Structure 1
Amino acid sequence: MNIKIEIEYDGTNYHGWQKQKNSLTVQEVMEKAIGEITGEEIKLIGAGRTDAGVHARGQVANFHTNTRIPVERLPYAINSQLPPDIVVKSAEIVPEDFHARYSAKSKVYTYNIYNSKYLSPFYRNYSYFFPCNVLIPSMKKAAESFVGEHDFSAFMSSQSSVKNTVRTVKRLEITKEKDLITVEIEANGFLYNMVRIIAGTLLMVGIGKIEPSEIPDIIRSKDRKRAGPTLPANGLFLEKVIYD
């Protein structure tokens, strides 16, 4: 069977999703947990390779198994072997050709900015603390320029070696509730650190260091130096992976 699972995790204690030799990752912990209950060597395919410290409310993965455990019982069985900062929320049998990464049509990420004089201890691991005054209307105006198909080279980490840097942003929304600013972005794909750099750029707009009218030119320039900073990983959440 090809099993699709939806996962929620706090990435604080992990060196990202993808398995690595000398660092603890979410994929490694999950493969071990699933292997414990199935008695098989499991290869887990994730929809997105979240970085160290990044969280997920809706990560999706798939794996093949011959287990006789009913699919509706799999989340309970897997969760019994997982630490409390990783939870499987659902499981279902999918067609053989389903691939968590390549079958995805788009992904939704959010970035949290805690905008107050003092950082709440409840948000210290789940947001970027920014105590300065921020102009939300300016950020919303700038956000409009990111929507559509663009070459996002200016919003990609220099550590990336990807060749195709064109992506389509389907929507980019900014909300503020009490002290929490949330940047939500849906796209057909993301470059390395793209969301964190876009969030950093929008924050620079919010404090007047970049004008909303400059964003189209920054995109066209493909110049990473003209965009804003890469905000820390702990404010980033993979919210949802969308399939047909």
Structure 2
Amino acid sequence: MARYKAVVSYDGSSYGGWQKQLNTTSIQEVIEQALAKMHKHDVAIVASGRTDAGVHAIAQVFHFDSEMKIQEKHWIKALNSLLPKDIRIQSVKQVTEAFHARFDAIGKRYDYLISNDILNPFKENYMAKDAHKLDVAYMQECATVLIGTHDFTSFTSNKIDPRKPRVKTITRLEVLQEKDHVHMIFEGNGFLRYMVRMLSQTLIEAGKHRITKADIKKMLEAKDKHACRYKAVPQGLYLVRVDYADDEEQN
């Protein structure tokens, strides 16, 4: 039995999120079904973390165990032949049996995209849309409040397990004006559920001058799950990279 680390890209538009659940199709479920077809028995996969319905991934990481003797390049071809076109395996490599996709992750990058081209149907599933012209410079100024190590209780789901640590470190938070959209980049040692979406919408509201830098600082310092009422739509969110200590290159 060998353990494998896989990197997968997916368009989350048609799925109820990463995690298996009742009454909707998940990305995890579809990948496990493909592995089951190959193995003739159930094969469980463990991801670096879950993504919500409508959220996309450029490089989600998961691991699985297999008794099959297949070269790494052939794993990619075999799995992609069984998966729908909106889920694509990018790499598969054998790792030690101690590797854990979730617990060994030391950092992640998420990107959030928002456009004011609200009439463009081709962006409907891949960017947030807002008719307002955002003040990107002010959004970047407000972002400085959030960089560093903080208790992010105010920017997470109210259903989060109270035993789960709320202190996270954001090492990079950039707000960039691209040609046809605003691009936010979040890098850190980990993110709570809904954290990136809530931070994104908070910065968007600041970009509309509906809230101030001081308001954001007050929300953060409140450490209260009711302090922030903002949460951006999932379509604009991408899991870009998951980092591991022994990576020769970042995924």
Same fold by TM (over 0.5)? Answer: yes
Q: Note the alpha carbon deviations across 1:80-124, whole angstroms, 9 max, x for none.
A: 0001110000010011100000000011111111123x3322211
Is the partner of 1:174 in helix, strand or coil? strand
Instruction: Give how far 1:224 is off.
Output: 4.1
Within 2, Cα distance between the matches of 1:25 and 1:194? 21
Instruction: Give how far 1:161 is off.
Output: 2.6
Alignment correspondent of 2:249: none
Shift in alpha-carbon separation, 1:224–1:210, aligned structure 2, 3 A: farther
Alignment correspondent of 2:120: 120
Instruction: Give how far 1:206 is off.
Output: 0.4
The reply to whether residue 242 of structure 1 matches residue 243 of structure 2 is: yes
Is the partner of 2:200 in helix, strand or coil? helix
Alignment of 1:45-84 (within 5 A): 45-84=46-85
Alignment of 1:151-230 (within 5 A): 151-163=151-163, 164-227=165-228, 229-230=230-231
For the 8 Å contact 1:104–1:243, the answer to whether it is kept is: yes
Shift in alpha-carbon separation, 1:228–1:115, aligned structure 2, 3 A: farther
Within 2, Cα distance between the matches of 1:133 and 1:228? 21
TM-score, normalization by structure 1? 0.95
Instruction: Give how far 1:5 is off.
Output: 0.5
For the 8 Å contact 1:204–1:228, the answer to whether it is kept is: no
Instruction: Give how far 1:223 is off.
Output: 3.3
For the 8 Å contact 1:200–1:228, the answer to whether it is kept is: no
Alignment correspondent of 1:94: 95
> Structure 1 unaligned runs (5+)?
none
Taking every aligned residue pair, what percent have the same amino acid on both sides? 37
Alignment correspondent of 1:30: 31
Instruction: Give how far 1:41 is off.
Output: 1.8
For the 8 Å contact 1:106–1:188, the answer to whether it is kept is: yes
Within 1, Cα distance between the matches of 2:33 and 2:157? 31
Instruction: Give how far 1:160 is off.
Output: 2.1
Letter in 1 for 2:146: F
Instruction: Give how far 1:204 is off.
Output: 0.9
Alignment correspondent of 1:133: 133
Paired positions, count: 243
Letter in 1 for 2:200: A
Instruction: Give how far 1:225 is off.
Output: 4.2
Letter in 2 for 1:78: L
Instruction: Give how far 1:15 is off.
Output: 0.7
Shift in alpha-carbon separation, 1:13–1:162, aligned structure 2, 3 A: farther
Within 2, Cα distance between the matches of 1:48 and 1:145? 26
Within 2, Cα distance between the matches of 1:12 and 1:88? 17
Within 1, Cα distance between the matches of 2:233 and 2:166? 22
Letter in 2 for 1:100: A
Is the partner of 1:98 in helix, strand or coil? coil
Instruction: Give how far 1:228 is off.
Output: 5.1
Most deviating of 209-218 and 168-177: 209-218
Within 1, Cα distance between the matches of 2:233 and 2:160? 17
Most deviating of 4-13 and 175-184: 175-184
The reply to whether residue 6 of structure 1 matches residue 7 of structure 2 is: yes
> Structure 2 unaligned runs (5+)?
246-251
Shift in alpha-carbon separation, 1:84–1:242, aligned structure 2, 3 A: same
For the 8 Å contact 1:6–1:58, the answer to whether it is kept is: yes
Within 2, Cα distance between the matches of 1:75 and 1:174? 35
Alignment correspondent of 1:147: 147
TM-score, normalization by structure 2? 0.93
